[in-house]
Structure 1
Amino acid sequence: MRASDAERERVAEILREAVAEGRLEMEEFDQRLDAAYKARTHGELEPLVRDLPAVGSSSSASAVAQPRAGSAARWSERIGRPATSTGGFAFWGGFRRRGNWTVGKVFTAFAMWGGGDIDLREANFESRETVIRCFTIMGGLRVTVPPDLGVEVRGIGIMGGFGEDTKDESAPAPDAPRVRITGFALMGGVGVEHKRSKAEKQRLRDADRQRGRLEKGDTP
């Protein structure tokens, strides 16, 4: 069966995750990625990921036909999933939410003499409208979001800070969810950072490289 552009991109995503996890050396990654973009059929794609786990699962046997996960998926595919977490708590310690998880419609984070890390770059969303409530007392909370996610930050810092780093912010995607971040920081801090994931940066580099090949006439 002839392979589609979407199927070639799904295989490329598995290869990127594999090199990021140390399963592939860069030289082998480059060879397989080049072969993926040149592949015409499923039979040419499947051997490239047969020995690798699919993104978000333990097997890649049906990876060619499966929808993409995390930031590789379209925003519409990442909204409306059952929540896997609706809060985080840290007291003399820390908590972390990152990777392929689903944030609840309302997520409440609290840190006292501790810290928390909330990473939305690979996350899915229970609702298109999401509220993240951050409260910290002599502690710190960090929220990391992709540049094209719509974010509104409304928090109060009391002898502390509640702020947003917008240097990597871009225009929100039309179909992206809206996230409102509220709360307060008492003698502590809450920081919101716009930042691309390593996998997303690798996808952009691969896309630039592929465009360069096409411009030179080296088509798949």
Structure 2
Amino acid sequence: MTPDPVLRASDADRDRVAAVLGEALATGRLTSLEHADRLDAAYTAKTVGELVPITSDLPDVSAPNIVALGIEQQTIDSTFSKVIRKGRWVASRHTRLSARFGALIIDLTDAVLPGREITIEADARFGKLIVLVPDNAQVIDEGVSMFGKRHVSGGTRSDGPLIRVTGQSVFSKVIVSREVSDWNLNSVG
């Protein structure tokens, strides 16, 4: 029995499509750009019918509990260096950002966000950590700062992703914002 294509898609429906896409990327059926584009389409799909064409040219994944590659958790580190991640890339549901004696700049505006809610664990020690979020993101700050600066801003719009910011900063600066005018990506560090 196939589901009605006009039914609203659930997060579990989107995750099943993401699993097929992850397997296709791992086996060389999709390039990383094709994977990112299709993953973005899957996580922005509103109905089950919108999910069908995303994987229509790919074999189904046989393992029932397979999780899409990199979707659940990832870590991005900067130690005694400057790391910038921007452009089209696949973020995770839980992304740990770690800046130690360096600068870490993460731009989520063009990233593929897997689901409606993601958690950014922003840990900085003697460094600088900057996260640029999409314009329609709702940002919730649950982190702490000791002997440093922590500036987290975001809106309350309900049409975009919910980005939960946790973690702690010690003798560091943590900025999470949708305003790029506050800082210049190339001059940090």
| TM class, shorter-length | 0.5 to 0.7
1:172 aligns with 2:157: yes
Residue 202 of structure 1 corresponds to none
**CA separation in 1, counterparts of 2:171 and 2:90?**
30
Please state whether the residue corresponding to 1:135 is helix, strand or coil. strand
Cα deviations across residues 92-113 of structure 1 (Å, max 9, x unaligned)?
A: 1022221111111110011111
Residue 212 of structure 1 corresponds to none
Please say if residues 140 and 189 of structure 1, whose CA atoms lie closer than 8 Å, have aligned partners that are also in contact: yes
Please say if residues 136 and 188 of structure 1, whose CA atoms lie closer than 8 Å, have aligned partners that are also in contact: yes
Residue 178 of structure 2 corresponds to 194
Segments of 5+ residues of structure 2 without an aligned counterpart are 1-32, 46-66, 182-189
| Pair 128,83 (structure 1): closer, same or farther in 2 beyond 3 Å | farther
Letter in structure 2 aligned against 1:181: V
Where do residues 128-147 of structure 1 align in structure 2 (5 Å cutoff)? 128-147=116-135
Where do residues 29-178 of structure 1 align in structure 2 (5 Å cutoff)? 76=44, 82-83=69-70, 86-165=74-153, 169=155, 171-174=156-159, 176-178=160-162
1:75 Cα shift? Answer: 6.8
- The number of aligned residues is 125
What is the TM-score with the length of structure 1 in the denominator?
0.49
Residue 169 of structure 2 corresponds to 185
1:172 Cα shift? Answer: 2.1
Identity %: 23
**CA separation in 1, counterparts of 2:39 and 2:94?**
22
| Pair 100,82 (structure 1): closer, same or farther in 2 beyond 3 Å | farther
**CA separation in 2, counterparts of 1:92 and 1:122?**
27
Letter in structure 1 aligned against 2:44: S
1:178 Cα shift? Answer: 1.5
What is the TM-score with the length of structure 2 in the denominator?
0.56
- Root-mean-square deviation (CA), in Å? 3.0
Letter in structure 2 aligned against 1:190: V
Please say if residues 147 and 196 of structure 1, whose CA atoms lie closer than 8 Å, have aligned partners that are also in contact: no
Cα deviations across residues 19-64 of structure 1 (Å, max 9, x unaligned)?
A: xxxxxxxxxxxxxxxxxxxxxxxxxxxxxxxxxxxxx57xxxxxxx
Q: Which of the two has greater helix per residue?
A: 1
1:129 Cα shift? Answer: 1.9
Letter in structure 2 aligned against 1:125: L
Cα deviations across residues 74-103 of structure 1 (Å, max 9, x unaligned)?
A: 9715xx975378221111102222111111
Please state whether the residue corresponding to 1:185 is helix, strand or coil. strand
| Pair 112,93 (structure 1): closer, same or farther in 2 beyond 3 Å | same
Residue 55 of structure 2 corresponds to none
Residue 16 of structure 1 corresponds to none
Cα deviations across residues 152-192 of structure 1 (Å, max 9, x unaligned)?
A: 122111000122245xx4x5242x22110111110011101
Please state whether the residue corresponding to 2:104 is helix, strand or coil. strand
Please state whether the residue corresponding to 1:131 is helix, strand or coil. strand
